[in-house]
Amino acid sequence: MRAPLYSLLALCVFPVIAEVNTSYVVLEGERLQQGRDIWLANCEGCHGYGFAGAPVPMTPSEWAPRLEKSRTVLYEHAIDGFFGADDTMMPARGGNPDLTDDEVKSAVDYMAALAAYYIQLERK
């Protein structure tokens, strides 16, 4: 019963996700630019919209607790995959096995920097 429901949901959601939002903040530095490019191509589909419970970096309340963790933990979760609270799941390498560890880390660095940017905006 769930499989047809998930298929129907995918048909409704993926056309929206396919429209890549290129208006995300561009942060200074070559590594963050690389991370932004990788994030847009691989991560934004879930993390840009909260699909499947993915935390959205533009929502400070979702990312503040993550920024309290060491970057090593965030890297491990993104590279190896992670099952979180409320049955959320981060697939290893965002579901793209072709991404290198460094590429995944740069995407994590961009998300963390993007989240920090929005946390600062909220405080103003």
Write out pLDDT tens, residues 46-64: 999 999 889 999 999 999 9
Query: Which pTM does this prediction carry?
Result: 0.80
Alpha-carbon separation of residue 25 from 53, 83, 98 (angstroms): 22, 28, 26
Instruction: Indicate if the pLDDT at residue 80 is higher than 80.
Output: yes
Q: pLDDT-based confidence at 6, cuts 50/70/90?
A: very low
pLDDT of residue 25: 87
Q: What φ, ψ does residue 56 adopt, rounded to 5°?
A: -95, 120
| CATH code linked to domain 2-123 | 1.10.760.10
